[in-house]
Chain A
Amino acid sequence: MRGTELLSAALFFSVFLIAACGLIYELVAGALASYLLGDSIFQFSTVIGSYLFAMGIGSYLSRFIRRGLVARFVTIELMVGLVGGFSSTILFLAFSYTHAFRLLLYALVLIVGILVGLEIPLLMRILKDRFPFRDLVAHVLTFDYLGALGASLLFPILLVPRLGLVRSAILFGLLNAGVAFWSTFLFREHIGAPWRLRFSSLIVLAMLGVGMAGAGHITALAEENLFADEIILARSSRYQRIVLTRWKDDLRLYLNSHLQFSSRDEYRYHEALVHPGLAAVDGARRVLILGGGDGLAAREVLRYPNVESVTLVDLDPEMTRLFSEHPLLTKLNGDSLRSPRMRVINDDAFPWLDRSREVFDFAVLDFPDPTNFSLGKLYTTAFYRLLAKHIRRGGFVAVQSTSPLFARQSYWCIVETLKQAGFRTYPYHVYVPSFGEWGFVLAGSTSFEPPSRLPPDLRFLEMATIAPLFHFPADMQPVEAEPNRLNDQVLVRYYEREWGEITR
């Protein structure tokens, strides 16, 4: 009796293990898909759905297995161990080196699901003579669900943080293969040639063992190809490739591999972009931000209690969505995009402004640098003339204007263009470590009086540091430049030449 009880315990422990393994592969696939593709709701629901569906196929197929149940069961365990164990390895490498990630993802989910779906029906049939049917069903399903619970708790708490996705999957592959190996002893009287199966089991165990040892290399290889720093997000929107990296506490945003900000010093850039101008406009109520979908300039604008509404026009809905939803990013921008004072519009700035009849007290132009003729349109006399019609008398515009040190003629070309468009200009600059010397231009229809006070709690700007911003040392002094016009975009040529001299 005692031997029988032990055997029963061993059998149900196997059920517990294979259930845990089955759930782990499903979680690995869902997590990997969310991690690499984003949109976790979509990834998890499709992965779980296809996985459960595949298990149904497996259960159905089990009726076609008539003889040699134990040998088949062992073989299936080995296959699950091998395919499931290496699933995340395969997917990681596929994402880095092929375009077939999704195809492979669902193919693996289906294969593993079918195999796992075969396990329990087969096991129940193997055990049907040892237990009364009533007990058998109750116990098998109990341990099946217990296994699922164990796996789902273990996965986020221990496995992912300690082992990572690649190793976790391999570890459970080893468990599957272990169950197979063990089964050849448990049911040895039902197997014709146990040595053959034991030998296969050892080979699978060895392969997974090697995989476990080399897992570090595999992840490094895959990630190296993906990103330099740790990537917390990589997404291709219709307009650009958005990549967010983190290295220690430094968050960096790249759009089409151009650095947009580093969280370590972006406050310098955004405080300088907004406050010298906005603090100088008395009682500004309506503010316009063109570009700036990261919500960082908006964060600075919202510091002013007198500002009643902020209109932000950014082309890319993916960008504004990300910066209103991602916890790390909303923390950075102070959840500015979801402020009740914000109005976010996803449109192209030039045509939007052309249609709009609104007038603002202050505007921030935070466009990408004029690297091509399309972006260059946003730095033309035509654009600035149009903008002027939307700024009330006494209002100001702050324009991000590339670096007056690295692209000196480009910078002074933007100043000249604003002048040609009828603005009075007040150029200034600031040092941002991750960018270098960076330039801005304040433009308005009236003369500019530096602000007499600033909002509280700024990290960089203070009254005493404002005046020096407007002083240009010898190596950034004005140079001759033509204005940038739609029909003669000299700025793009200046910019190409100047940045081309520095970066090759």
Chain B
Amino acid sequence: MGRDHTVNRRAFFTTAFLGLTAKADRLITGRIVDDSHLLGHKLRERAKRLSPKRVERISLVIAGGGIAGLSAAWQLDKRGFRDFVLLEMEKQAGGNARWGENEITPFPWAAHYVPLPGKNSTLVRELFEEFGVLRDGVWEERHLCHSPQERLFLHGRWQEGLLPDVAATARDRQQYRRFEHRMAGFRASGEFRIPMETGARRALDLDRLSMAAWMKAEGFDSSYLNWYVDYACRDDYGARASETSAWAGIHYFAAREQEEHGPLTWPEGNGWIVRQLLRKLGRHVRTDSMVDRIGRRGNGFRVLAGDVEYHCDRVLFAAPTFLLPYVLENALAPVGAVEYSPWITANLTLDRPPVERGAPRAWDNVIFNSPSLGYVVATHQSLRTRQDRSVWTWYRPLCDGPPAAGRQMLLVRDWSYWKETILNDLTPAHPDIRSCVSRIDVMRLGHAMVRPRVGFLSARPAPAPRGLFLANSDLSGLSLFEEAQYRGVRAAEKALG
């Protein structure tokens, strides 16, 4: 009875004060949730120089608690090696797979899915078997992305799937088919694999031009197809097709088997994987522990993190590789000309579903020709049949212009700016979005992912000192879960000898 009346009472008051309430925008709260760039920049300016209060002796230190660092820990633990700590600068481990949670649902902050791993991705399969996601070769259904998976807002309505279909011409469709045929050829070549190191010898000529240039050279001029390919590059690499190596662009399409019913996803995105890993490895993890300095100490290292100095034999560096020169004493020159894409992500709390036209709400919802990548719905994997409140994670790589300009934008724009940007982005697809959203939290990721630029395959990181092992996914040039895991595990294996 109570609920019924609140509804009626509200309807009554709305009617009574029509014009006062109906048009007025509701109050939207929220904030910018990150502050790690402050920490990070302190590091750059070498401003933070705390003297250690105590010394801890340990065999191995992992710097960085993203997927790479956690996977290294996973591998060490599996091999029976327990004398190590993992140091994470943030309050929470996870890196790009960080997640949050409110009264409605857990939600991701960045990485939110893993494509169904093919037969070659043995490590990923092993991990998922351990978590019960893969049993006797069968994927547990509730971890697979539920129907409907993707939709695209195009010409005023939502369509199923991401490849533009509304008003596509015969020429567009012919190019779709030809593109798919070309990708099938690359797939069969065995060159494009995940992890990328396991692929056959790479043809460097594809790395000498951009994806956009390759499309042009191949005669793909359909604006729909070009939008789709550009979307794919922004989605996986945070860069436009014109800034992405054609080899990486093709890798996106050709490295995975034609997945029918994937990907794997969870309400908190890849945070779910982090949670499972932490359940097992949490005792090794120390958060709020930024590595300030790594120096030689005899044959080993001393690692200064906050007020603790770790004396260790080996260091596994799983943080973004570009940070290494800033913390390593007597560092060699900064690693190559590796670029990282700045991103902005936001979590929107919705009190009711907004109006929309066309195909029903999917997990991944993309808006054609928008600078954003659209949004994923955190409650999509819920087993409930009815859920009015939800959290949407909105993504946008800042890929127009050089990364430094994007990072500058992240530093100067305030929360209100992003709130308006996000709501304006969503309004064409959901005209009443402003009256549905009650909260918008924004996260700025200055160095979200490595950018596979033209020529990235030839770039080699400077050799690391003996006893220090690099583990970040940026070594692959591709910021993917599978690469991070592979690099972490490989580094752990090398460290154990």
Chain A residues engaging chain B, CB cutoff 8 angstroms: 37, 39, 42, 99-100, 102-103, 235-239, 315, 318, 348-351, 354, 372-378, 380-382, 385, 485-489, 492
Q: Which residue of A lies closest to B265 (CB)?
A: A487
**Contacting pair B15 A351 (CB below 8 A):** no
A335 → chain B closest CB, angstroms: 21
Specify the main secondary structure of chain B where it touches its partner: loop
| Other-chain contact of A351, B261, B262, B384 (Cβ < 8 Å) | B384
**Contacting pair B7 A236 (CB below 8 A):** yes
Residues on A with beta carbons closer than 8 Å to the beta carbon of B261: 485, 487-488
**Contacting pair B11 A487 (CB below 8 A):** no
**Contacting pair A486 B144 (CB below 8 A):** yes
Max count, chain A CB within 10 A of own CB: residue among B8, B15, B147: B147
Residues on B with beta carbons closer than 8 Å to the beta carbon of A351: 382-384
B1 at the interface (CB under 8 A from A): yes
User: What 1/0 flags go to B132-164 for Cβ under 8 Å of A?
Assistant: 000000000110111111000000000000000
| Other-chain contact of B15, A99, A377, A385 (Cβ < 8 Å) | A99
Residues on A with beta carbons closer than 8 Å to the beta carbon of B386: 239, 315, 348, 374
Q: Which residue of A lies closest to B1 (CB)?
A: A39
CA distance A486 to B7 in the complex (A): 33
Residues on B with beta carbons closer than 8 Å to the beta carbon of A42: 1, 5
Q: Which residue of A lies closest to B9 (CB)?
A: A102
CA distance A103 to B11 in the complex (A): 10
- Using known A-B contacts A100-B15, A348-B385, determine if residue A318 contacts B4 with beta carbons closer than 8 Å: yes
CA distance A305 to B4 in the complex (A): 37
| Other-chain contact of A350, B16, B149, B385 (Cβ < 8 Å) | B385
CA distance A432 to B262 in the complex (A): 40
| Other-chain contact of A102, B8, B145, B146, B149 (Cβ < 8 Å) | B8
| Other-chain contact of A373, B8, B15, B148, B383 (Cβ < 8 Å) | B148
Residues on A with beta carbons closer than 8 Å to the beta carbon of B91: none
**Contacting pair A350 B384 (CB below 8 A):** yes
**Contacting pair A485 B141 (CB below 8 A):** yes
User: What 1/0 flags go to B51-93 for Cβ under 8 Å of A?
Assistant: 0000000000000000000000000000000000000000000
Q: Which residue of B lies closest to A376 (CB)?
A: B147
Q: Which residue of B lies closest to A39 (CB)?
A: B1
B47 → chain A closest CB, angstroms: 49
**Contacting pair A37 B8 (CB below 8 A):** yes
**Contacting pair A39 B4 (CB below 8 A):** yes
CA distance A380 to B385 in the complex (A): 12
Residues on B with beta carbons closer than 8 Å to the beta carbon of A381: 141
Q: What would 15 more interface pairs be, CB under 8 Å, given A348-B386, A351-B383, A488-B261? A: A39-B4, A103-B16, A237-B4, A315-B385, A348-B385, A374-B384, A374-B386, A377-B383, A381-B141, A486-B142, A486-B146, A487-B146, A488-B147, A488-B260, A489-B147
| Other-chain contact of B383, A235, A348, A485 (Cβ < 8 Å) | A348
A378 → chain B closest CB, angstroms: 6
Q: Which residue of A lies closest to B5 (CB)?
A: A42
B465 at the interface (CB under 8 A from A): no
Chain B residues engaging chain A, CB cutoff 8 angstroms: 1, 3-5, 7-8, 11-12, 15-16, 141-142, 144-149, 260-262, 360, 382-386
B155 → chain A closest CB, angstroms: 22
**Contacting pair A486 B4 (CB below 8 A):** no
CA distance A487 to B3 in the complex (A): 34
- Using known A-B contacts A486-B141, A487-B261, determine if residue A373 contacts B360 with beta carbons closer than 8 Å: yes
CA distance A236 to B11 in the complex (A): 12
Residues on A with beta carbons closer than 8 Å to the beta carbon of B12: 102-103
CA distance A381 to B141 in the complex (A): 8
CA distance A377 to B147 in the complex (A): 9
Residues on B with beta carbons closer than 8 Å to the beta carbon of A239: 386
CA distance A350 to B4 in the complex (A): 25
CA distance A467 to B20 in the complex (A): 65
A318 → chain B closest CB, angstroms: 7
CA distance A351 to B267 in the complex (A): 15
A43 → chain B closest CB, angstroms: 11
Residues on A with beta carbons closer than 8 Å to the beta carbon of B5: 42
Q: Which residue of B lies closest to A316 (CB)?
A: B386
- Using known A-B contacts A37-B8, A372-B360, determine if residue A487 contacts B385 with beta carbons closer than 8 Å: no
20 contacts between A and B (CB under 8 A): A99-B11, A100-B15, A102-B11, A237-B4, A239-B386, A315-B385, A315-B386, A348-B385, A349-B385, A350-B385, A351-B383, A354-B383, A373-B360, A377-B146, A377-B385, A485-B261, A487-B261, A488-B260, A489-B147, A489-B148
**Contacting pair B385 A375 (CB below 8 A):** yes
CA distance A376 to B4 in the complex (A): 27
**Contacting pair A382 B8 (CB below 8 A):** no
Residues on B with beta carbons closer than 8 Å to the beta carbon of A377: 146, 383, 385
B242 → chain A closest CB, angstroms: 34
Residues on A with beta carbons closer than 8 Å to the beta carbon of B383: 348, 350-351, 354, 377
CA distance A374 to B142 in the complex (A): 14
Residues on B with beta carbons closer than 8 Å to the beta carbon of A492: 147
B133 → chain A closest CB, angstroms: 13
Residues on A with beta carbons closer than 8 Å to the beta carbon of B11: 99, 102
B19 → chain A closest CB, angstroms: 13
**Contacting pair B141 A380 (CB below 8 A):** yes
Q: Which residue of A lies closest to B383 (CB)?
A: A350
Residues on B with beta carbons closer than 8 Å to the beta carbon of A354: 383
CA distance A42 to B144 in the complex (A): 48
Residues on A with beta carbons closer than 8 Å to the beta carbon of B146: 373, 377, 486-487, 489
Max count, chain B CB within 10 A of own CB: residue among A239, A348, A350, A486: A486
